[in-house]
Structure 1
Amino acid sequence: MSLPSGDEFEALSHLADEAREVFADRAHNVGRALELDPSFQRGEIPRSGMVRYLFLEAAEVAASRCGLSFVTGAGGACSLVRIDGERTVERWYRIRRAREGQNDDFVIESKGDAILQSEGDSLFKEERWVLAYTIDSNNQLESVFAAEILGVSDGSPGRLELGTVFPLGAGSSALPPGRGRFEPTNEDLDLDGDTEEEGLDDGEEGSEGNVA
């Protein structure tokens, strides 16, 4: 794995900050919508869906200004793509909602390993990452982070196995304990080396029955 450049982390952080501004301005509409009908408050699915689409809209609008490509796929999957020509790597950042686990980590559930599958038509080596976010009880963004996907653990649902978590944006200080903030540089660093899933393969469905 090669770490993204400082410019790439800066672009992702800028996108995260723009998403926070969108949530600060419009997330209150989620609560208003849920109050329109009692059935909307049964379970987590309606809230999860509205929050997800709010984040996706913010990401899509900000992507073009940040030098990122916003790509949609089967089952509602949405990714950000960045080609790192210097390292001949194409990174796919799957947009996923996460939750804080019991061990000071982040949990992203997954029904299978489709998230690891290559697009197959790139001239560059592909790396699979997540651009993930957590939400508080007021429907505001808590954390936004990037991490490489190392694999998918067994289970029903399984969980994404993540590499180092890199907080993104100015508001990412409220991360679980033990998660240090990454300060990107432009140095060339090389390392050897969805049940909240979109559709549960690519739509975003959680153990609480969340589908977004």
Structure 2
Amino acid sequence: MNDYRFSLNGADLVALPSGALWWPDQALAVVSDLHLGKSERMARRGGAMLPPYEVRETLERLEAVLDTSCARKVVCLGDTFDDLDAMDNLREDEALWLTRLMAGREWVWIEGNHDPGPTAFGGAHLAEMAMGPLTFRHIAAPDAGPGEVSGHYHPKMRFGAGSHRAFLLDERRVILPAFGTFTGGLRHSDAALAGLMQPPARAILTGKRALAVPLPCGDQADSRASTA
């Protein structure tokens, strides 16, 4: 098996190698931090020029997750768009592609710090959402009860010769990796993440397969990476 199965507050979940989370009992796929339109937003604001294919590549990977899982419900955990103007400035074919992915599915947009307003694509737009034993929000709450599912931090972990996007998992919460093509990342040992995860905690590395490794105890905080 290339995925990693675990239980969180009584919910049986699957971390997929793509960085998406799957809840089989609910036919629910969860993704976070797609940051669609990042290349357009950076060009608009005079930043570094990025290749313009990031929306297409991200939507291709999202479509593969939804088709393979036969998901009937989707939760986007915030920062789906790099900002609200980036949402409005999607090319027509990209906007139609996203609309097609939504067709026939229950779709929930969780409010992110990059996209705090409602989307033009229908579905439900919520600050956070409780579903059974789980609570979905964009940014992890330090005092959250068990069953929290969040994103925002774009966690990564160096393992072997490379750096991998990673889920971070402990007994109370799971933090999803960024799903978008051109998203940065925050090291698992950064103070912002180390303060949230309680031992025993695991990182679930993404890539060709979802690989669980223990989070080292006593890591020195490292804030050299960013979630920009």
TM-score (norm 2): 0.29
Query: Which protein is richer in helix relative to its size?
Result: 1
